[in-house]
Structure 1
Amino acid sequence: MHTGLHDRGALFDADPPGLASRLVGLRPYQPRATPYEHPEEPPFVVFAGGRGLGKTAVLLALHDAYRGHTPTALVDAEDRQFGAPPPDRPAESWSPVGQALTTAAEQLAEPVKGAGRIGFPRLSCGLLAVAAGGWSARDVPRVRQEAERVLLLGETDSWLSGFSGRWTSKVISRLVASMSGTGPMTEPVIEATLEAFTEGVSPAHRRLRGAAAWYRDCPNADGSPKLALILLSRHFRAGGDSRRHAERHLVRALLADLDDAYAGVVQRSHRRGRPLLLIDNVQERAGLGLMEPVLRDRADGIRDQAVFFAALRGHTHPALRNAGRLDLPETARATGWRPGTSPSSRALLVPLPRGAGQTPA
């Protein structure tokens, strides 16, 4: 436990509740509820400062305080896995943001006290479409490996049985069979994925159908999930602004899957607090690719209930030009934060004082 962090009270206090308690809705290290300060939309909190101020230590303390009590993920955007695609993965079907989404979802899926595993079927659908853009019939072992990792993101506790493994194997076999020939693989893989997601009558199959149908509302999809996923894959492969557009939809898919995990009276009764995403070195490509879509969607009225704490190397960033600003001690009580109309106003910049992440002597 990181209970000795210098000047940590504003963030970690339980009574009266500090900033983390008021945003997450749980006291640190315990499943005791705390009223939300911002029930409609939490600020995207960014701890700012130069090297050596303890930003990483603060994120690690948050991770330690809430993991196991509410869905929690910690992503270091400077990690080597986000620097370049694996040797056998084509660059046109890989990006630091896609890798970060997969890493975050795998952590968020872990069961917590009183509630089971979260599934990410929307994200799974989208990531399969993107990965298919780099597949060929010559790469069956790699296809099986990549498809299995992505499909596992869509599974919930109800699937964690022998049936789950058989279903995943069946879908992967169907995907591989759809790749016979030498032409483009994206469309047949998407068709096979949608078929697998839309058949069956169990509650799990109904969730998969809903996840596939979610894509029909994407721009230019004309109500067709298949067309939406084809466009997503095509935009991703195009790079530049088109890829950023596709990545924004993938981030939105992850947050929509998280919202589903809290939908309904029964789900909310089992899940206390909000899900927590922690992003270290947010100034890197993987970090900005997670932060900027969230800020833009919130400014556009697309709501989510995830809590974000990030660490920024430096004191400001163009993506945060209109962010609110409070010193750490000022966050100990109500922040008074109110977003404006710009995406960056959805963030709250909190410069860390020297030694904020250090244990006092």
Structure 2
Amino acid sequence: MFDTEPPGLAPRLVGLLPFQEGSSPYEHAKEFPFVVFAGGRGLGKSAVLGELRDAYLGRTPVALIDCEEPQFAGAPPDRPREAWSPVSQALLTIAEQLAEPVTGAGRIPFPRLAAGLLAVAAGGWGDRDVPRIRRETERILLLNDTGAWPPVLAGRWVGRVSGKVIAAMSGTGPVVEPIIEATLEAFCEGVSPAHRRLRKAAAWYRDYPNASGSPKLGLVLLSGHFRACGGSRAHAERYLVRALLTDLDDAYTGAIQRTHRPGRPVVLIDNAQTAPGSGLVGPVLRDRAEGIADRVAFFAGLRGQGHPALRDAVRRTLSEVALSSGWEPDASISSRALLVPLPPLSPDDTAQEERPG
């Protein structure tokens, strides 16, 4: 997994050598697999994902979530269930980690995701609980911070936009459309590079299904689909996953950005058999199968090997992927995944895992 000469699976997919400076040739330059480490308890899946995080933290954007964490188990007591899901919480958590600056490059903004998450959250603000709404709004808006502004100015912008959002609820009727209007207005004002980026992100929602070229209608539909739950919510969540990946792609677009951001960003999903795991894995595989590319190196840990979303995944042993993954997808969605069962730990492996530090 972590070999450097010749490069193991991780450096061949990430494009960077682990735990040291230097790049690695990509095994798959264009389309590449979504790697899933599978097996029962105690095989070291979490340890592998933790080691992947440590290998690349600070050198390329990295996010690690454990789907069994309490934050994904249910909506907070003050958050209506129709405006919250494990997937929306996971996307917010992943984006906050990926946004952190790395060597040679600043923070990554997530304006598309922020606009979508605000539209979703607005579906739960009918009670007009101003302190809660301000907290939720400001946390989401901070996803737009590039670090280019001094913290004071960034804070002022966040405060001004959250003020617009709260002012939009001054009436007694539904709040979703007024909040979306206030958000789009805030995103589209100003002439700085940051505001041009926000305008471009807002315009992205004009392509939401049935939006008829209207960003406002796109966000209204997204919010409504999310509140509807079931298949409609899954549709909205898929679009939110795509928003995060499109924001990431923007951060790597252009000669200057590519120069400063070598390799691929890394997203690590532990215990993917639990929500929000399937709501993250499924949309990525479907988009890749439909030719909607992304540039993220995904690695997941899965308890067991029989998840329906991975029925046609390419299967390789850990030893088989040492020099080459041998991964070639077919027409099926799940073939975009590479399933690697982990072998039982040896006594030496177990001793190393239990060693302090």
TM range (shorter): over 0.9
Does the C-alpha gap of structure 1 residues 160 and 37 become closer, same or farther in structure 2, counting only changes over 3 Å?
Answer: farther
Residues 170-229 of structure 1: per-residue CA shift (max 9 Å, x gap): 000000000012211100000000000011000000000010011111110100000000
Deviations 1:15-46 (A, max 9, x none): 11000000000000123111111111220000
TM-score using structure 2 length: 0.96
Change (3 A) 1:24 1:201: same
Matched-pair contact (CA < 8 Å) for 2:35–2:298: yes
Equivalent pair of 2:33/2:336 in contact (CA under 8 Å): yes
Count of aligned pairs between the two proteins = 351
Counterpart check, 1:30 vs 2:20: yes
Q: Distance in 2 between matches of 1:77 and 1:153?
A: 21
- The offset of 1:14, in angstroms, is 1.0
1:334 positional shift: 1.6
> Tell me, what secondary structure is at the counterpart of 1:159?
coil
Q: 2-side partners of 1:234 and 1:76: how far apart? A: 28
2:234 is paired with a residue whose SS is helix
The CA distance in 1 between the partners of 2:150 and 2:79, in whole Å, is 29
* The one of 61, 65, 77 aligned to 1:75: 65
Gaps of at least 5 residues in structure 1 are 1-10
SS of the residue aligned with 1:12? coil
Matched, 1:116 2:98: no
Alpha carbons 1:137, 1:181 under 8 Å: kept: no
SS at match of 2:22: coil
Equivalent residue number for residue 312 of structure 2: 322
Deviation, 1:342, is 1.4
Q: Using the TM superposition, give the Cα deviation of residue 359 of structure 1 relative to its aligned residue in structure 2, in angstroms.
A: 5.0
Mean Cα deviation higher: 131-140 or 229-238: 131-140
Distance 2:32 2:134 in 1: 39
Is 2:212 aligned against 1:222?
A: yes
Matches within 5 A, 1:1-361: 11-136=1-126, 138-355=128-345, 358=350
TM-score, reference length from structure 1: 0.95
Alpha-carbon contact 1:328-1:350 (below 8 Å) kept: yes
Name the Cα RMSD after superposition. 1.2
Counterpart CA distance in 1 for 2:128 and 2:238 is: 31
- Deviating beyond 3 angstroms after TM superposition, the runs of 4 or more aligned structure 1 residues are 356-361
AA in 2 matched with 1:85: A
Letter matched to residue 125 of structure 1: A
* Ranges in structure 2 where 5+ consecutive residues have no aligned partner: none
Cα pair 2:128 2:169 within 8 Å, conserved: no
Match of 1:7 in 2: none
Classify the secondary structure of the residue corresponding to 2:246: helix
Confirm or deny: 8 A CA contact 2:273 2:303 kept in the other structure: yes
Kept in 2, the 8 Å contact 1:44–1:348? The answer is yes
Distance 1:190 1:254, change over 3 A: same
Q: Percent same amino acid at aligned positions? A: 66
1:115-135 superposed Cα distances (whole Å, 9 cap, x missing partner):
110000000000000000000
Q: How much has 1:137 moved relative to structure 2?
A: 5.6
Q: Which moved more, 1:31-40 or 1:18-27?
A: 31-40
